[in-house]
Structure 1
Amino acid sequence: MAVEALTIDVNGRALLLSAERAAFDPLEKALFIADAHFGKDAVFRARGIPVPAGATGENLARLDALIATHRPESVVFLGDLLHARESHADETLAALDAWRDRRAALRLVLVEGNHDRHAGELPARFGVELVKEPYRLGPWALCHHPQTVDDAYALAGHEHPVYRLATRIESVRLPCFRFGARAGVLPAFGAFTGGFEVNEDVRRAREAVYVVAGERVFGVRV
């Protein structure tokens, strides 16, 4: 089944929300990804937690699917590209190297996040442009930490937002996009990232919420 994207209006600009937990601006031809946390599985294993290998490859395959669908000219990572210093493990760097060789013409920009400062930069051969928040691109102020920015609409990550849907007898927590009047937050892209429940926050702030359920994105507060 094909993964769907939902087009919404954010502060007067069309933004495509993907069930792969990313957003695409068709005018800027830019793909926005928050909290990839590449190499987190390697970090877990290095610290004695026996999780299976392969999460980085799976995440890169999802990224390839997004690129094939949207054909961006740039990918902007909204912080936390790597998880920790152990993310520089040979297996992780080899997977990233092979991916970068296939995508050599693609511009990669990283808005520095808190994990990036601890993990350290990727080697220069990866060609990732490291910038500070807020990074201005078109109408957007691209950040890692959620915030508001004068004269721009801020898009951020860091929070790993999830929204709880419930009936009287059961509930489920789903990754979500949340959008307020001046700022929005994208769900975490990477595996093993966990999530922060935002139901009460978005209710108080009267924000729009779009959840990811399998191959679909749909609005639950719009």
Structure 2
Amino acid sequence: MTTESLTVDIDGHTLLLSAERAAFDPLLGALFIADAHFGKDAVFRARGIPVPAGSTGETLARLDALISTHRPESVVFLGDLLHARESHADETLNALSEWRARHRELALTLVEGNHDRHAGALPDAFGVSLVKEPYALGPWALCHHPQTVAGAYALAGHEHPVYRLATRVDRVRLPCFRFGARSGVLPAFGSFTGGFEVNETARGEAIYVVAGERVFGVRP
């Protein structure tokens, strides 16, 4: 399956918004991913909720597709890389280890999110640099929690934004990117995540929804 990217201008800087729910800065060679929540299915099963396995593998396959398309030099995770302490289950760590072995050349940075503090860090062998928000990279202030940062445009996650599109007979909630004057929020990247509807809170912002293999703009 081939998914498309939409090139947008954000505060005078180019970003490619992917239908895989990530953003790529072609000048920095940096791929931005929010809220992967690896191992969330393992967490649920450890807590007695019988959800199917496989969300980590599905999320990593989408990440592989992005890397193949964009050839980034670095990947910056905008918080919540892991879901909880039980994400350190063998099934999750083994999948992440195999993925990392295929991409040893990539620089990986994690902007610490609220779930990361509870989950604990990945082993040092994964080579993930942990930083606090806001993390300055080029024109961006990279964060987990949505906020404004003086002198930079803030990109964040945490919110898992979705946008409701409706007709007289039907409606659908789609993952979305939202961009205001000084800050923006990326959709959750993980395959097993919920969503927060932003129709009422994103008025006046630029909204780009993900529908299958496409990304397109809508007017609030």
Does TM-score exceed 0.5, indicating one fold? Answer: yes
SS in 1 for 2:155: strand
Aligned to 2:141: 141
Unpaired segments ≥5 residues, structure 2: none
How much identity, in percent, do the aligned residues show? 82
Equivalence for 2:180: 180
Partner residue in 1 for 2:120? 120
Partner of 1:207: 205
Hey, what does 1:19 align to over in structure 2?
A: 19
> Quick one: distance in 1 between partners of 2:4 and 2:98?
27
Once residues 113 and 221 of structure 1 are traced to their aligned partners in structure 2, the CA distance between those partners, rounded to angstroms, is 30
Is structure 2 residue 89 aligned with structure 1 residue 75?
Answer: no
Shift of 1:57: 0.7
User: Take 2:164 and 2:58, find their aligned partners in 1: how far apart are those partners?
Assistant: 26
Query: Match of 2:102?
Result: 102
Equivalent-residue separation in structure 1 for 2:91 and 2:202 (angstroms) = 39
TM-score normalized with structure 1 length: 0.98
1:54, distance to aligned residue in structure 2 (A): 1.0
Determine helix, strand or coil for the equivalent of 2:202: helix
Deviation at 1:51, TM superposition (A): 1.1
- Residue segments in structure 1 that go unaligned for 5+ positions in a row: none
Report the Cα distance in structure 1 between the residues aligned to 2:5 and 2:90, rounded to whole angstroms: 34
Distance in 2 (alpha carbons) for counterparts of 1:173 and 1:81: 24
Q: Match for 1:219 among 205, 217, 220?
A: 217
Aligned pair 1:65/2:54, yes or no?
Answer: no
Cα drift, residue 2 of structure 1: 1.4
Normalised by the length of structure 2, the TM-score is: 0.99
How far does residue 115 in structure 1 lie from its aligned partner after superposition?
Answer: 0.1
* Structure 1 residue identity aligned to 2:161: P
Q: CA deviation digits over 1:44-84, x for unaligned, max 9?
A: 11111111111101110100000000000000000000000
Post-superposition offset of 1:221? 2.2
Distance 2:192 2:165 in 1: 21
- Deviant stretches of 4+, over 2 Å: none
Q: How big is each residue's C-alpha offset from its partner over 1:90-119, in whole Å with a ceiling of 9 and x where there is no partner? A: 000000000001111100000000000000
Give the partner amino acid of 1:34: A
